[in-house]
Structure 1
Amino acid sequence: MCTFMRLKQAYFSSDRIMFDDSSRLVFFSDCHRGDNSKADSFLQNRDIYLYALDFYYTNGFTYIELGDGDELWENDRFSALINAHLGVYLLLRKFHLDNRLYMIWGNHDIFKSCKTFVRNTLFQYYDSRTQTSRPLFENIKIHEGLILQHSSNLYKIFTVHGHQGDILNDILWPFSCFMIRHFWRFIKISRCKNRLSQIKNNERLQIIENNIRQWSKNNNIVVIAGHTHNPAFPKPGQPPYFNDGCCIKANYITCIEIQNGEISLTKWSRNIRSQTITREVLSGPEKISAYVNQ
């Protein structure tokens, strides 16, 4: 099966990071940061995301982005994203300076798999106010996957975007990128979306989720992914596939937290009436060790 093969390839090429029960980790994906236009899906939740990001920075979390952080299929210039959301990138830079930032590439930011692209676009940015280049994520490495290994229990968590084996978004991504950039962007702006195509897309994503879920079960490895935009939090004893959801649903974002050796699914949302932003634990916390057969 293509998904199994691609996950295996990503797993064995992944760097390993050690963590323990004192570690605080937060996983976000599918922010799809855009250019501040009507096609920018991230814009509606930027304030919520910034509020959550500040919370995690202040409370000592390490930020791990599981792909599709930047919308590079619709936008061919990364500088447009920087200009649109400079405050976001500068806050992420603070994580980077503290060695608390890891980034994984997905299908919509697959260009980050190219070291030359990363060096030319992420190491620094052009500040139009001062007309000078300023440092951003200097010397950062963008990963296809990461393995988090517990220093005491030695169990592993495999983090990956989750598009691996999805034919349209993995093998045929250049074609999909072309269609998104030249057609879908304008369909999205006009809000003319085909209901049938959405149903077909959901069915395809369910197949992808089931494949990753089966891979995690077969290999006794906890997997945290994104890509489908659908949060997933299994019960102990079920296949250990977690999904952090996304940051582009109306008025809320979701993420996965790990602290005290426990994992939880968290939602940050805006109250429409009061305009206050609140944090809510949707699932968990559960001991991560409960998902692994020792």
Structure 2
Amino acid sequence: MRKILLAFFEVFRSIMKFFLRRPVTWLADRVSSSPQQVNVDKALSELYNSIADEPGKKGPLFAFRPDEHPVIIFSDLHKGTRDGADDFAVCEENYLAALAYYNTQNFYYLNLGDSEELWENILPNVIRFNKKTFAAERAFADRRAFVKLVGNHDLYWGNDPLAPAVLKVLYNRPQKAHMGAILRAQLPDGEIDFFCTHGHQGDAQSDGNAFSKWFVSYVWGPAQTFLEINTNSPSCNDNNKTLHNQFMYQWSEKQKNLVLITGHTHQPVFNSLTHLERLYLQLEEAKDHGDNTTAEKILQEIPRRKREYNHIGPQFRSMKPSYFNAGCCCFEDGNITGIEIADGYIRLVKWTKKNGTPQREVAEEIHLVQLSAKLNA
């Protein structure tokens, strides 16, 4: 009987896909998740000013000394139900090892959103299959060292009136889900505001009014899942990654003493540069210094990275280091990436398995005093 019902369901879905694919795709194009620069600028400015002027209303503001109070930033886990569509499943071991390390080192943990995949799953099932990860996050909440932000795939945390009660059960204390956060780093020569948010700001589908947010959470996302139609998600669309990086950077470069840190695209960005752009800069530097060995290694690496993402910004040689992206915790190879602010440095880190054991690797780093000088150059 169950097989008959499943077969009927698949036939019904195939029929609905045939009739609805074109109108759904047309509607997605009309209300595209690729925002306009003016909308991004407005949304980011409003959120930043709200947090700076009224901390706690839309997000917290923390002043800290980065040589004394370390911070780890992760984004885009997309925790699922351990089925074939659960992108986080293969990354869970690295994530748990990373949180155990950072909690032992007394890091502050900021999660940029899309922690739970609620477009494809119902929340009770996600909770049931992710008890270990919630327990690991709870260790930070117990120390009052955990901030949870809202993404477009877990808008529930910011929309549903029952969300605060659910969060309180998960973390054994009141735990608000915020739209953003400002980490105000105290440096010898001044301050840097690290403005952290998910990165879907200005998105007409999921950063609009209350109705549009509700519609995406409870109608639009589930409908796309049922129809197996992925419309314009930046995390799986190179054109949208390019647009996202461009829009976020163009807003951040106009700010003073500010660094924007987002997620959303699943693509790490450091000093406003993607990995591919950094490789080209490193190649030029190696050639200038006559380092043929390093140049050859980079030349071998570039084609592999171009298969992942083949876009170079026209001004990548002279970009202001004002935009960073934490990447994600759902890479298909099981690796996860994040942003550390610790020991006076900001670092792009990767957690990967070596001989079956999760290991921390530093991919890029820059001292905050040097970063501050470049921001004000």
Deviation at residue 118 of structure 1 after TM alignment: 2.4
- Verify: 1:73 aligned to 2:119, yes or no: yes
* Aligned residue number for residue 85 of structure 2: 39
Rounded to whole Å, the distance in 1 between the matches of 2:186 and 2:342 is 14
Deviation at residue 24 of structure 1 after TM alignment: 0.4
Give unmatched runs, 5+ long, in structure 1: 126-135
Change (3 A) 1:215 1:82: same
> What is the aligned length?
276
3-state SS of 1:13 partner: helix
Q: CA RMSD in A?
A: 2.6
- Verify: 1:24 aligned to 2:70, yes or no: yes
Superposed, 1:204-215 pairs within 5 Å as: 204-215=240-251
The superposition leaves residues 50-81 of structure 1 with CA deviations (integer Å, 9 ceiling, x where unpaired) of 011111111111100011111112123x2211
Rounded to whole Å, the distance in 1 between the matches of 2:160 and 2:215 is 22
* Aligned residue number for residue 108 of structure 1: 153
3-state SS of 2:350 partner: strand
* Aligned residue number for residue 243 of structure 1: 325
Rounded to whole Å, the distance in 1 between the matches of 2:163 and 2:117 is 15
- Verify: 1:143 aligned to 2:181, yes or no: no
Deviation at residue 285 of structure 1 after TM alignment: 3.5
Rounded to whole Å, the distance in 2 between the matches of 1:197 and 1:258 is 29
* Residue type at the aligned position of 1:233: F
- Verify: 1:154 aligned to 2:181, yes or no: no
TM-score by length of 1: 0.85
Pick aligned residue for 2:344 from 254, 261, 283: 261
Pick aligned residue for 1:276 from 346, 357, 364: 357
Change (3 A) 1:253 1:164: same
1 or 2, which has the higher helix percentage? 2
Aligned 8 A contact 2:40 2:203 in 1 = yes
TM-score by length of 2: 0.67
Change (3 A) 1:291 1:68: farther
1 or 2, which has the higher strand percentage? 1
- Verify: 1:55 aligned to 2:101, yes or no: yes
Give unmatched runs, 5+ long, in structure 2: 1-37, 52-59, 273-317
Aligned 8 A contact 1:222 1:240 in 2 = yes
Identity of aligned residues (%): 32
The superposition leaves residues 215-261 of structure 1 with CA deviations (integer Å, 9 ceiling, x where unpaired) of 11101211111001100001796241000000111220000001122
Rounded to whole Å, the distance in 2 between the matches of 1:165 and 1:198 is 13
* Residue type at the aligned position of 1:208: H
Aligned 8 A contact 1:34 1:84 in 2 = yes
Pick aligned residue for 2:270 from 219, 223, 233: 233
Aligned 8 A contact 2:327 2:337 in 1 = yes
* Aligned residue number for residue 168 of structure 1: 205
Aligned 8 A contact 2:199 2:262 in 1 = yes
Deviation at residue 38 of structure 1 after TM alignment: 1.8
